[in-house]
Structure 1
Amino acid sequence: MSIQSGKLWGVGIGPGDPELVTVKAARVIGEADVVAFHSAQHGRSISRGVASRYMREDQIEVHLVYPVTTGTTDHPGGYQGAIDEFYEQAAERLAEHLVSGRSVALLAEGDPLFYSSYMHMHKRLADRFDVEIVPGVTSVSAASAAMETPLVERDEVFTVLPGTLPVDELARRLRTTDAAAIMKLGRTFPTVVRALEQSGRLAEARYVERASTDRERVLAIGDVDQSEVPYFSIAIVPSPSNNNVAADPLPGEVVVVGLGPGADHWTTDEVRQEIAAATDLVGYVTYLDRVSTRPGQARHASDNKVESERAAFALDLAKRGKRVVVVSSGDPGVFAMAAAVVEVAAEPQWSDVRVRVVPGMTAANAVASRVGAPLGHDYAVISLSDRLKPWSVVAARLSAVAAADMAIAIYNPASKSRTWQVGAMRDLLLEHREADTPVVIGRAVGTADESVRVVTLEKLEPEDIDMRCLLIIGSSQTEAVESDAGTRVFTSRRYPDSQPSS
């Protein structure tokens, strides 16, 4: 980097109150040869107004006027083209002073690196000149102070969102965070209100206008005139522990959720929301260990062989007014807790308890994705465990599906006490399938211990399989193709001699 003699200062001047300008910012502004600031075409610069008491009369002032802020432009590149051209020209105006050896203080409302105009100058000048950033108090901090309300505490999550996001995306992010600040309001305010309504957080939110100035206002969102919302306003949603909104008591219910097969990013936002809202978490200890609990939540872990008892326990909690989440791995409706809960809930004593099921990714789909598309055509899902059904039923189903020439996803193939079924399954399937039929062995997919291999059916060895495995047995149309990227397995969606229906 070639450093010139002039130095660029990115100076945060805070949210509007001149007394919130830091001591360092005041010193830098007063010492700089050049003070630069932005404004819209009306020419009134808020940042210069805040900094004026710290400026000298003999300083050079550079007024950077945006060609467009809202509305339309006749620039051939449209709005973005006009703005990009303005930034390039503005950067060169500052560069002329820096090359001449002058120090330049570029003012930024709030903090220079937080939704600030300064950032666009920084990207264009920082690799050519000596640069230093003076941080400033953000509007988020000022708004929180104006509300006299904490935003977050302990391990709660705080999210900053631009109001320019689409309403559905805003609502999704609001549902999955503890607290939020929504900036860039102005003309986006109606969209923000709709997002708050969709996410169920409208009652929690507060509107803060021109925080820290003599025109500061704090209002409930519903009291705001949507036609008179300035850009320098912000919507704040404090965390549940700080929002002071008395929630309506909700009836007890049981929600059965699926965490997905292993990786945290396979747990959906909907599932995370249900877990966060629960008073009690119920499940097999290994699955509960994947869930972070918040203060006040009760955790009820149990062994994996007491599904009916676990379901009854969860229903009893809900009957007493608790919001209970029953946690499963994968999808709760695939060899998991949804069936147990719904079955037990059918008993008369639980008739007044609401039960919901929230889906998750199942292991078969996760394993299939690692090798391509082995489940691309019709397929069956069979559990090899004979703990809840006799082996004669398992064997009959394996034979029937094999005869029907469908790919098969095999769950629960083996355990420490159950080791012979994989060999028995292989022998049954070889009565209907070719010896070179592809078999995908996915183990602990989505975890740090993940492994995925492709073997042929005749070479499937029972001793290689344990309870953390899921098997995908191909059909006659399943192919394994070797490439530089590894083995890819697919089952074509086109079946031989198929004729379209008339």
Structure 2
Amino acid sequence: MSHGRIICAGLGPGDPDLISVRSDRVVRGARHIAYFRKAGRQGQARRIVEGMLAPGAIEYAMEYPVTTEMPFDSPDYNAVLSAFYDDWTARLHALVAQGHEVVVLCEGDPFFYGSFMHLYVRLRDLVPVEVIPGIPGMVGCWNATAEPITWGDDVLTVLMGTLPEEDLIRHMQASDALAIMKTGRNLPRVRRALAAAGRLQDAWLIERGTMPTQRMARLADVDAADCPYFAIVLVHGHGRRPVAGGEE
């Protein structure tokens, strides 16, 4: 009987010092390591664990067949990615069937918009799967601003920059604090929506949060053509809080 399993290690927002003790121990002891990356790139998750892998660890680079080359909502895009996840499900299943423990790396938290979710739903009924939580990237980014993201009764909304502009505006107007992910080439749409919602002057762009190359700037001051891929837009809440004299 196989004693293999899959462990997905959440690695946090990017700074290796923010990896949990559990994930650190699992990564350092792994003999089989898998991670997602764009073809020709090292991969963000792999970069985070540089220097941590055990000698002789076998690496499996799961290279996306497509990233931004097709519209994300097209049937072709969905079909290509579905086949990609099916293929890697079969490969990982085969390794577990041979008795191997495979550690899959995931930046941020695996269950918060992580690519591993697509493998998880395919593998969980086939093999033992353990998921180790990680600090989500947006948490690292709002800590980088050195300002609380929410106060009192503030409502925080997490938005995808891929949403239609009118949907972005509606959510931006209805929420106190905002975390906007999947910016990149969608950043001009996000900027227009924030301006229409009257929130642009309060928006921050954080690129590569918690990493040595971190950049932070007010979105209104960033050149409109500057659309970094690995970035989050934040708008802080300003809600109820105790003030001098004990009033709120």
Cα distance in 2 for residues equivalent to 1:213 and 1:157? 28
- 1:55 matched residue in structure 2: 53
Q: Check the 8 A contact 2:33/2:58 in 1, yes or no.
A: yes
Q: Check the 8 A contact 1:11/1:135 in 2, yes or no.
A: yes
Cα distance in 2 for residues equivalent to 1:239 and 1:26? 33
- 1:46 matched residue in structure 2: 44
Paired residue type of 2:213 = R
Spell out the pairing of 1:205-354 with structure 2 (5 A cutoff): 205-241=203-239
Is 1:176 aligned to 2:167, yes or no?
no
- Secondary structure of the residue aligned to 1:203 is helix
- Secondary structure of the residue aligned to 2:26 is helix
- Secondary structure of the residue aligned to 1:240 is coil
- 1:87 matched residue in structure 2: 85
Q: Check the 8 A contact 2:110/2:131 in 1, yes or no.
A: yes
Is 1:167 aligned to 2:165, yes or no?
yes
Q: Check the 8 A contact 2:9/2:23 in 1, yes or no.
A: yes
Is 1:101 aligned to 2:99, yes or no?
yes
Q: Which runs of 5+ in 1 are unaligned?
A: 243-294, 297-502
Cα distance in 2 for residues equivalent to 1:225 and 1:88? 40
Paired residue type of 1:78 = D
Is 1:132 aligned to 2:112, yes or no?
no
**How far does the alpha carbon of each residue in 1:26-66 deviate from its partner, in whole angstroms, 9 at most, with x for none?**
10112223110011112321111111222112111111001
Cα distance in 2 for residues equivalent to 1:230 and 1:57? 34
Superposed displacement of residue 68, structure 1: 0.9
Cα distance in 2 for residues equivalent to 1:44 and 1:227? 26
Flag the 1:195–1:5 CA change in 2: closer, same or farther, 3 A.
Answer: same
- 1:188 matched residue in structure 2: 186
- Secondary structure of the residue aligned to 2:225 is helix
Paired residue type of 1:162 = M
Superposed displacement of residue 167, structure 1: 0.8
Superposed displacement of residue 4, structure 1: 4.9
Superposed displacement of residue 223, structure 1: 1.7
Q: Check the 8 A contact 2:154/2:239 in 1, yes or no.
A: no
Q: Check the 8 A contact 2:22/2:132 in 1, yes or no.
A: yes
Spell out the pairing of 1:321-400 with structure 2 (5 A cutoff): none
Is 1:199 aligned to 2:197, yes or no?
yes
- 2:243 matched residue in structure 1: none
Q: Check the 8 A contact 2:12/2:109 in 1, yes or no.
A: yes
Superposed displacement of residue 175, structure 1: 0.9
Q: Check the 8 A contact 2:154/2:238 in 1, yes or no.
A: no
- 2:110 matched residue in structure 1: 112
Cα distance in 2 for residues equivalent to 1:77 and 1:175? 32
- Secondary structure of the residue aligned to 1:52 is coil
Superposed displacement of residue 77, structure 1: 5.2
Superposition CA RMSD, Å: 1.9
Structure 1 stretches of at least 4 aligned residues deviating more than 4 Å after TM superposition: none
- 2:24 matched residue in structure 1: 26
Cα distance in 1 for residues equivalent to 2:110 and 2:26? 14
TM-score by length of 2: 0.91
TM-score by length of 1: 0.46
Q: Check the 8 A contact 1:4/1:130 in 2, yes or no.
A: no
Q: Which runs of 5+ in 2 are unaligned?
A: 241-246
- Secondary structure of the residue aligned to 2:201 is coil
Cα distance in 2 for residues equivalent to 1:124 and 1:84? 11
| 1:37 aligned residue (29, 35, 38) | 35
Paired residue type of 1:64 = M
Flag the 1:4–1:158 CA change in 2: closer, same or farther, 3 A.
Answer: farther
**How far does the alpha carbon of each residue in 1:346-385 deviate from its partner, in whole angstroms, 9 at most, with x for none?**
xxxxxxxxxxxxxxxxxxxxxxxxxxxxxxxxxxxxxxxx
Paired residue type of 2:37 = S
Q: Check the 8 A contact 1:4/1:128 in 2, yes or no.
A: no
Q: Check the 8 A contact 2:31/2:54 in 1, yes or no.
A: no
Q: Check the 8 A contact 2:204/2:218 in 1, yes or no.
A: yes
- Secondary structure of the residue aligned to 2:200 is coil
Q: Check the 8 A contact 2:30/2:54 in 1, yes or no.
A: no
Larger Rg: 1
